[in-house]
Amino acid sequence: MGTIIAVDIGGTQMRAASYAPDQIKPIKQKKIATLASEPGGFDRLVSVIQDVWPKDGSVEAIGLASPGPLDPHTGYLLAPPNNPLWHNFPLAPNISNHFGVKTFLDNDANLAGLAEYRFGAGKGHHDVLYITVSTGIGAGVIIADRLLQGFHGLAAELGHSIIDPNGPLCSCGYPGHLEAYSSGPAIVRYVLGEIDAGTKSSLKRDENMNARDVSEAAQKGDALAIKAYQRAGEYLGIGVASFLHAFDPSIVIFGGGVSQVGGLLFDSFHVSLKKHVFHPRYLENLSITTAALKDDAGLLGARALAELKLNS
């Protein structure tokens, strides 16, 4: 098998890396700004891939990790929220045509989950639930050693699970999704709303506030900031209880910036999870941990996807 090239297309930057067969340390790696709202995105993607292309040209396949929604069966981006110029865009076919090699595409959260299963915290498990809690909430699900994609390739959009149909609007425009309660922006929106309602806080109303600002205030004892994270953890526990009922994994792995705050989020999460799971058997011998691969998860997931498809 020849070299595999992996690409992680983020909202801020595109990263590409080349990998030798059976290796997870890249031969070469490059990153550039995504500039999603500006024309020329496809040319920038081609350029970053060319920068890691091996001199002998022996590339077996290219794996692409991108925010969804997308169709991994056809390689089309459907409507990535951070890249309006790539709606209904045949990304994988265009890359494949340009470079003349097989190209495979999947959701970045799916592929982060695949990477954790293959190389990270989920190694040795056969049924894995990966959840990233950040600007949004994404997920990847492994069932019996297979990545769950679904009929349309849209499976495991767990951040858009409905917690309350009368709840706050999610970033997707629909009400009451888990992402509207437990993501970083949701935590900030709750704090701003409480400040507007007259709740006292060391935090001042600031449209540029982010989840890190709230966590820092919480660590200093700010009651509103603490409550905001506790609330996010409680709703996260409600969501994950439902996910356990659906998938019955042996391990739940949390990634993303919001998940790094530790007990501030997870103390209430564990209480909520235990309260809402309908039978304690789901929790027996269940591992709950944080991601091991950090920023490399997207690249390693894209690499794993390409290898998986080549061997299928």
Give the model's pLDDT for residue 254.
98
Fold entry, domain 3-113+295-311:
Nucleotidyltransferase; domain 5 (3.30.420)
Asked, colleague to colleague, whether 3-113+295-311 and 125-291 share their fold, the answer is yes
Q: Which long-range contacts (CB under 8 A, 24 or more apart) does 231-234 make?
A: 231/181, 231/190, 231/268, 232/181, 232/182, 232/183, 232/186, 232/187, 232/190, 232/258, 232/265, 233/182, 233/264, 233/265, 233/266, 233/267, 233/268, 233/269, 233/272, 234/268, 234/269, 234/271, 234/272
pTM score of the predicted model: 0.94
Give the model's pLDDT for residue 57.
77
Give the model's pLDDT for residue 22.
84
Regions in the chain scoring below 50 on pLDDT: none
Which helix H or strand E contains 57, and what residues bound it?
A: none
Give the model's pLDDT for residue 272.
98
Give the model's pLDDT for residue 120.
97
Q: Which CATH number fits the domain 125-291, given the four candidates 3.50.50.60, 3.30.1490.20, 3.30.420.40, 3.60.21.10?
A: 3.30.420.40
30 Cβ neighbours under 8 A, 6+ residues apart: 15, 16, 17, 48, 51, 52
Domain boundaries along the sequence of the chain: 3-113+295-311, 125-291
Give the model's pLDDT for residue 305.
97
Q: Percentages helix, strand, coil for the chain, rounded to the nearest 5? A: 40, 20, 35
